[in-house]
Amino acid sequence: MSTDELTKRNKISQKLAPYIFVSPFFIIFALFSLFPILFTLYISLTDWTGTKDVSLVGVQNYIQVFQDTRFYRAVGNTFLFMIMIIPAQIILALFISVMLTSKKVPFVGTFRLMNFLPYITTSVAIGLIFNIMFDSNYGSVNEILMKFGFITEKINWLGEKWPARITIALVTIWKYFGYTAVLFMAGIMSIDKQLYEASEIDGAGKWRQLFSITLPNLKPVMIFVVLTTMIGCFQIFDEPYMIFTGFGATLVGGPQGSALTGTWLIYDTVFGGTFRYGYGSAISFALFILITAITLVVLRFMNKGGE
Amino acid sequence: MVKKLGSPFMFLLMVIISLISLYPFYTMIIMGTYESNQLYTGIKFWFGDSLNKNLASVFSINFLNYYKNSLVVAISTTVLGVLVCSAAGFALGKYQFKGKKLMLAIVIGMLMIPSQLSIIAFVIEMRWFGWMDTLWPLIIPPAASAFGVFWMTQFAKNTIPTEVLESARIDGCNEMSVFLRIAMPFMRPAFVTLALLLFLWSWNSFLTPLIVLNSDALYTIPLGIRGLAGQFRNDNAAQILGITLGTIPVLFFFIAFSKNLIEGLASSAVKG
């Protein structure tokens, strides 16, 4: 074979190779991630209840969704969770990550692990442990709060609306802020050291450096964190499900539905006794559109804010 | 020393936050050594003495089998996931080809969409495949992680020098060995990070197994452990001990590789 032929063959294989490399991923991805979304849209236009008879009913399910108080409650709760969770989580994570990258703190690895442990703990464990810790009569949280004189009467954490929401927000912050801190640490470590050195020569203090170097350079990570946390709030399910139903009781959405979120509503509509596939899919797709809208708004807003 | 710690107040604050962060995890470990009826009797700071009794309860159910199922699922999905994601990531990061932009747009778009939203359609699809009450839905679909491909694409783009690939081609390497022998070693740090995360997500996954699995013989740890509390018994302490035992593998991996995790994160995604 001549060299020319060889290069020609190489050129062809170089053209084909990327398609071969991406195909295993995209076949699985198309089958199990993309197709279900389109299929959800189709199901949402039917009256499917799991039996063989399926008929198209148009937007009837959607009309029902927009009249459903539980849907509004789930969306409302999600926004409440966003307000309660996102600022606290970001401030805590920033604090930890700035401390641990400052080179002035000993045992960095140990502290990093301590704060990362919640993220690797399975939600079933979190449900059981927090159920015990937040128990109104015997839980350690009430006991500690009373000992230090913060409260005089025991709080019914898991039985009342707002305390239940606060509990779920605390659990979620606790679980994810260490992970967020790791993302921030990674971001801070990739900032050019010379920026700090130069500003030190100019006499900038630590706070000044935080606001004029660290935070602006963390913007891409920040956008990622804010977006994923907001979307994560729609998905809050595992932990409250285990906390409120883990011990046999089946309290959908927590006390008075105060911790009902999108995922829980879908789960309950379709797998909680009734099989309203069509209606459940309409809820899913409505949330899907809502999430897309939020993503676009946040991206636009945050990209403007930094310029 | 004081000067080295920065502001002592800040340091103290960090210690307190870290202790609060650790507390529930610590509680989990010690609660597994008490009797179930002692759990709701105030704060505990040290181990109880019912470890053996709880161990007996844990192993009275098919705990080892749940453990085995969790391992089979998590290891399979991790290996498969790392392979398909790095191959796709390499192609999207290092080749120019038609359709690449669209593929990247789809991947990034799907990053933002929670898979739970399409769980109904997913379950119906699983029925068509005959995959209900099997481990396949827990292994194959999570392997094609949008996050994983996004990750690997960024990493390949930023760390593999194009000249090295070119010179390997001139030396007569075909594309497959360019990927396996030249690109893979460069991608190793991202590899470890992705493997850790895929393993963790699979190991702790709850909603999908809850919906697709019906038989006890196939249960993973989070599902199986529920069998210790229910209609007939309510052994919460044994449940907690079982979960603690179930946390050991992930804990081990994260202690062993936590440096890689941070470095892997630092070197790729955040530059996106």
Query: Could you tell me which residue, A8 or B157, shows the higher pLDDT?
Result: B157
Nearest residue in B to A50, CA atom: B124
Token pair in block for residue B180:
């396996």
> A60-305 architecture in CATH?
Orthogonal Bundle (1.10)
Check: CB of residue A35 under 8 Å from CB of residue B144.
no
B224: distance to nearest CA of chain A, Å? 11
Do the Cβ atoms of B192 and B264 come closer than 8 Å? yes
Distance, in Å, from the CA atom of B182 to the CA atom of B110, rounded to the nearest integer, reads 30
Class of B62-271 in CATH: mainly alpha
List the single residue in B with minimal CA-CA distance to A129: B28
Tokens at residue B139, please?
Answer: 């292994």
pLDDT tens, position by position, A142-157:
888 888 878 878 888 8
> Between chains, do B13 and A95 touch, taking CB under 8 Å as contact?
yes
pLDDT of residue B272: 40
Residue B233 has pLDDT above 70, yes or no: no
Interface contact A129-B206, CB threshold 8 A? no
Q: What is the pLDDT of residue B2?
A: 37
Question: Is residue B193's pLDDT more than 60?
Answer: yes
Choose the closest CB to B22 out of A117, A186, A281: A117
B53-64 mean pLDDT = 80
CB-based contact, A24 to chain B, within 8 Å: yes
A36 touches chain B (CB under 8 A): yes
Name residues whose C-beta falls within 8 Å of residue B8's C-beta, 6 or more positions apart in sequence: B2
Distance from CA of B95 to the nearest CA of A (A): 6
Per-range mean pLDDT, top range of A207-211, B75-79, B184-188: B75-79
Secondary structure class of A199 (helix, strand, coil): helix
Task: Find chain B residues with C-beta within 8 A of A237's C-beta.
Answer: 116, 207
**Cβ neighbours around B90 below 10 Å, total:** 29
Interface predicted TM-score of the whole assembly (ipTM), two decimals = 0.84
DSSP letter, residue B270? G
pLDDT higher for B79 or A109? B79
Pull the structure tokens for residue B4.
């080295």
Across A188-192, B83-87, B156-160, the highest mean pLDDT is recorded for B83-87
* Tokens 């030190």 found at: A200
| Residue among B117, B145, B162, B182 with most chain A CBs within 10 A, to mutate | B117
Cα A257 to Cα A265: distance, rounded to the nearest angstrom: 10
Nearest to A32 by CA among B214, B72, B140, B108: B140
**What per-residue confidence (pLDDT) applies to B83?**
93
pLDDT digits (tens, 9 = 90+) for A106-132: 888 888 888 888 888 888 888 888 888
User: B24, A237: Cβ pair inside 8 Å?
Assistant: no
Q: How many CA atoms lie within 13 A of B256 on its CB side?
A: 9
Contact yes or no for B200 and A15 at CB 8 A: no
Burial level of B235, CB count in 10 A (0-12/13-18/19+)?
buried
CB count in 10 Å sphere of residue B64 = 10
Mean per-residue pLDDT of chain B: 83
pLDDT value, residue A250? 59
Q: Which residues pair with B234 in a beta bridge?
A: B229
Query: CB B227: neighbour CB atoms within 10 A?
Result: 19
Residue listed under structure tokens 């400052």: A102
pLDDT at A290 over 80: yes
- Report the share of chain B in percent with pLDDT over 70: 91
Check the CA dihedral B11-B17-B19-B22 and report its sign: negative
**Cβ pair B169:A96 closer than 8 A:** no
Chain A CB contacts of B87 under 8 Å are 21-22, 24-25
> Which residues are CB-neighbours of A305 under 8 A, at least 6 positions away?
none
| Mean pLDDT (chain A, rounded) | 83
Distance from CA of B118 to the nearest CA of A (A): 6
pLDDT for position B232: 55
Q: Is the pLDDT of residue B76 over 90?
A: yes
Q: What's chain A's Rg over C-alpha atoms?
A: 25
Provide the pLDDT for residue B271.
Answer: 45
* Stretch A283-304: mean pLDDT: 85
Which is higher by pLDDT, A79 or B37?
A79
More confident residue, A228 or B2: A228
Per-residue pLDDT for A57 more than 60? yes
Which residue among A16, A144, A248 sits closest to B229, beta carbon to beta carbon?
A248
CA A60 to chain B, closest CA, distance in angstroms equals 18
Nearest Cβ partner for B97 among A19, A114, A238? A19
Please check the confidence at residue A61 and state whether its pLDDT lies above 50: yes
Nearest to A212, CA basis, from A226, A225, A200, A224: A200
Per-residue confidence (pLDDT) for residue A35, from 0 to 100: 93
Distance between CA atoms of residues A247 and A124, nearest Å: 11
Domain extent listing, chain B: 62-271
The mean pLDDT value for A276-294 works out to 88
Q: How many CB pairs (< 8 A) connect A and B?
A: 291
Q: Which residues of chain A lie closer than 8 angstroms to B92, CB-CB?
A: 18, 22
pLDDT at B75: 95
All structural domains of chain A with their residue ranges: 1-44, 60-305
State the amino acid at position A139 in one-letter form.
G
Can you give the pLDDT at residue A251?
66
Tokens of A268: 């309950």
Most confident of A119-133, A161-175, B45-59: A161-175
Contact across the interface for B120 and A118, Cβ inside 8 Å: no
